[in-house]
Amino acid sequence: MTVPAQNAENQPQISEKELNFRAMQAKYERDLEAERNARLQAEQRAAAYEKSKAPEEEEDDDDQSYIDKRVLSKTLSKFEANLEKKIDQKAEARARAMIEQERQSTFFKSNSDFNNVMSAENIQKFAEKYPGIAENILENVPEGFGRQKLLYQTMKEMGIGRKEEPKGSSIQETIDRNRQTPFQPSSFSTPAYQGQKGDFSPAGQKAAWEKMQSLIKGRRT
């Protein structure tokens, strides 16, 4: 094997997460540069506007004209500082939001059963079976992804939402019963967990949390 080939093999592979982070960082820098250019253009427009407002007749008092220039310079400096601060805050908030979105996306990919576990039915079951833990989560954890993640992990640890595997004898009994009885679709009812899809939409999650809160309030009375 040649030396260049060996060096290529020894080079560390860049992970997809690192590539995504670099792309986000590059986009953040581009956005920041664009906003700084917009700030510069705004300053130029402000200066041009102030210049166009100059009186047609010159003031007799030179001191007054000098004071106006100082006030204008101070006003522009303050405007520049405030605008730059707002731009930096906006860019930072956007970068934080992108990083948080990537973190949540990674979490959902690693926990593909999130929606199934966090169904309204399972949340209600959890609140009824473990009301103290549910109340503690509602009161001490702020609303948002952090609360959803904690509830999901707690419910999984408590066995809520876990699919129970049928026993071998039950399967055999079902097979024997189907051999003896003609198949009638109307005679079979859909299990409660089937058709109950996890609803992670804002409306679905809000309804589930309101149900949990109502159960806890009922427990207190």
Q: Which domain holds residue 79?
A: 16-52+64-110
pLDDT single digits (tens) 1-58: 555 555 555 556 667 777 777 778 788 788 878 888 887 888 787 777 777 766 554 5
Phi-psi category of residue 161: left, alpha or beta, with phi > 0 → left and psi -120 to 50 → alpha? left
| Residue 91 and residue 42 in one domain | yes
| Residue 118 and residue 218 in one domain | yes
Phi-psi category of residue 195: left, alpha or beta, with phi > 0 → left and psi -120 to 50 → alpha? left
**C-beta of residue 200 within 8 angstroms of C-beta of residue 115:** yes
Q: What's the predicted TM-score (pTM) here?
A: 0.44
- The answer as to whether 10 is a domain residue is no
| Residue 34 and residue 69 in one domain | yes
- For the cut 50, the answer to whether the pLDDT of residue 183 exceeds it is no
- The answer as to whether 5 is a domain residue is no
Phi-psi category of residue 206: left, alpha or beta, with phi > 0 → left and psi -120 to 50 → alpha? alpha
pLDDT single digits (tens) 75-122: 777 777 777 777 777 777 888 888 888 888 888 899 999 988 888 888
- The answer as to whether 100 is a domain residue is yes
Q: Which residue type occupies 83?
A: L
pLDDT at residue 154, as a whole number: 92
CA distance 11 to 13: 6
Which has the closest alpha carbon to 36: 80, 77, 97? 80
**C-beta of residue 218 within 8 angstroms of C-beta of residue 135:** no
CA distance 79 to 122: 54
pLDDT single digits (tens) 123-169: 888 888 888 888 888 888 888 888 888 989 999 998 887 766 555 55
Helix 120-129 and helix 145-157: axis angle, to 10°?
70
Query: Considering its fold, how many domains does the chain have in total?
Result: 2
Span 192-208, mean pLDDT? Answer: 51
Token reading at 179: 């051999």
